[in-house]
Amino acid sequence: MSENRRIIIFDTTLRDGEQSPGASMNLREKLEIAQALDDLGVDVIEAGFPIASPGDFEAVGEIAQTIHGATICGLARCNDRDIDRAWEALKNASHPRIHVFLATSAIHREFKLKMNQEEIVERAVAGVTRALNYCDDVEFSPEDAARTERDFLCRVVEAAIDAGATTVNIPDTVGYAIPEQMGQVIATLVDRVPNIDKAVISVHCHNDLGLAVANSLAAVQNGASQIECTINGIGERAGNCSLEEAVMTLRTRHDVYQCETGITTQRLVPTSRLVSSITGLHVQRNKAVVGRNAFAHEAGIHQDGMLKERTTYEIMCPEDVGFAKTDLVLGKHSGRAALADRARALGYHLTGEQLQTVFDEFKRLADKKKEIYDGDISAIIDQQLHGLPDAEWTLVNYHVQSRSDQAPLVRLTLRRGDEELTAESDRGDGPIDAAFWACEKITGVEVVCKDFQARSATIGRDALGEASIEVEHKGRTYRGRGVSTDTVEATVLALLNAVNRIAMAK
């Protein structure tokens, strides 16, 4: 491979990533992530599947009009209705791409599509041809390519390129491949498809066996020039190839891959935190590159080595991926300009109105805490930006009475419009459970708690507490998030956030 080959980074956080259970996003959240991806330097943003729902269609359309750096891509099956709908959403994009797909493996042909090989080729060509009537940038994916017979895969890819596909994507749809196999698939296409040089070879790997990044890199070594991935590796089932891991491997092991990307790596951690906050999918502490422990050293031998020479135990600089070497500490005397500057450094784009709201909350927190750290600032901004606008229910106050030898008592007062409603509950096995019952009494919204997590945003006994919950209501999953120095209050705010999402959905 030639030195410094450019690898295209295709991000599908807003499409495949959103398919993670409980990770659905509203329009404003999708726009915020799209802006962050553009700032990150992603080449292609797959904004959604326009035919899937009115919400997806609207999101793709808004992102297409708003983002002018990256190529904006919409997914479509190989049928006229999907493709027409995709173009309707993408038509105002500065750089639009239609991504058409059709399953090709024997198991999909027999059990899902009920089509033979000839029909598959004909449908694939028709899909690419129709998409080309709308724009010059068309990507074709033979779904489940990793389990498709090699001869047939070569035939379909050749036909798609002949029809005008500018990118051919080879998906390991179910995460079944291993690196050697994935590399061989790409090598076979390079060797046996006569027109392969007329299209970019892409790869889209799932992580069911934990091999998505390894399989993607094996594809690159054998000729692929585009990696399809997601922030934090989110996606359906076990997720997708992790963008941050693939990018930093290419950068750190340039001696092996001799490739580069256009990613501004210092934006990896801020983007990771943003996606985690919006989706409610927490990043595990030991996650490669962006996890909280990725550059932490506790073992004495490691600490001794680090003090003598950083590279003894670190192969990347934390600053290169966006970790701050030290937190900038702000206090109650800090001004709006200092807060705005730190927000920008943490990856947030705040309007004047948003900055004022965040600043007001920052001042309230500064009266409670002596020092405010980056994690506190991120928590405040996330709470203000990702709380629902015009929330139906807001918290007025609450009172908790709890002892080890008696049932807890919670008195909760909520506001809806100009009306304040109060309810008490002594049900449940603790104050959190009692708060759930009290909230149900007032709102009339019955939920089943499927997941509850509470953690500190920063260090110290006075750190902000972040509560995240996932609830089920009438068969649908909703998530909520709350932030406060009081974890009970943070939990109530998270519950109200979820209840307001339910109200908005109705």
The pLDDT, as a whole number, for residue 250 is 98
- Residue tagged 């406060």 (tokens): 484
Lowest mean pLDDT among 33-37, 148-152, 421-425: 421-425
Cβ-in-10-Å burial (0-12, 13-18, 19+) of 187 comes to middle
Distance CA 153, CA 174 (A): 17
What's the rounded mean pLDDT across residues 332-348?
78
Domain carrying residue 254: 5-279
The verdict on residue 202 lying in a domain is yes
| Bigger pLDDT: 293 vs 363 | 363
Nearest CA to 159 among 136, 132, 129? Answer: 129
Distance CA 137, CA 86 (A): 13
Q: How many helices and strands, by DSSP H and E, does the chain display? A: 18, 16
The reply to whether 409 and 357 lie within a common domain is no
The pLDDT, as a whole number, for residue 389 is 47
What's the rounded mean pLDDT across residues 232-253?
96
Domain count, the chain: 4
The reply to whether 458 and 363 lie within a common domain is no
Percent of the chain with pLDDT over 70: 91
The reply to whether 409 and 351 lie within a common domain is no
Secondary structure (DSSP) of 274-288: HHHHHH--PPPTT-T
Distance CA 490, CA 455 (A): 10
Cβ-in-10-Å burial (0-12, 13-18, 19+) of 45 comes to buried
The verdict on residue 288 lying in a domain is no
Lowest mean pLDDT among 44-48, 119-123, 277-281, 363-367: 363-367
What are the backbone angles phi and psi of residue 486, rounded to the nearest 5°? -105, 115
HSE, side-chain direction, 13 A CA sphere, residue 417: 2
The verdict on residue 290 lying in a domain is no
- Residue tagged 């493996």 (tokens): 105
- Is 411's pLDDT higher than 70? yes
The reply to whether 96 and 215 lie within a common domain is yes
**DSSP 8-state secondary structure symbol assigned to residue 490:** H
- Is 72's pLDDT higher than 60? yes
The reply to whether 403 and 368 lie within a common domain is no
Nearest CA to 210 among 228, 233, 227, 183? Answer: 233
Contacts for 355-361: CB closer than 8 Å, 24+ residues apart: 357/384, 358/384
The pLDDT, as a whole number, for residue 307 is 58
The pLDDT, as a whole number, for residue 1 is 42
The verdict on residue 25 lying in a domain is yes
With vertex at residue 173, the alpha carbon angle to CA 169 and CA 174, rounded to the nearest 5 degrees, is 160
Look up the CATH number of the domain holding residue 62. Answer: 3.20.20.70
Report which residue type is found at 449.
Answer: C
The verdict on residue 456 lying in a domain is yes
The verdict on residue 222 lying in a domain is yes
Element (H, E) at 315: none
The reply to whether 382 and 425 lie within a common domain is no
The reply to whether 446 and 479 lie within a common domain is yes
Model confidence, pTM: 0.80
The reply to whether 319 and 330 lie within a common domain is no
- Is 312's pLDDT higher than 80? no
**Domain boundary pick from 344, 365, 386:** 386
Are 213 and 244 in contact by the 8 Å Cβ rule? The answer is no
The reply to whether 166 and 306 lie within a common domain is no
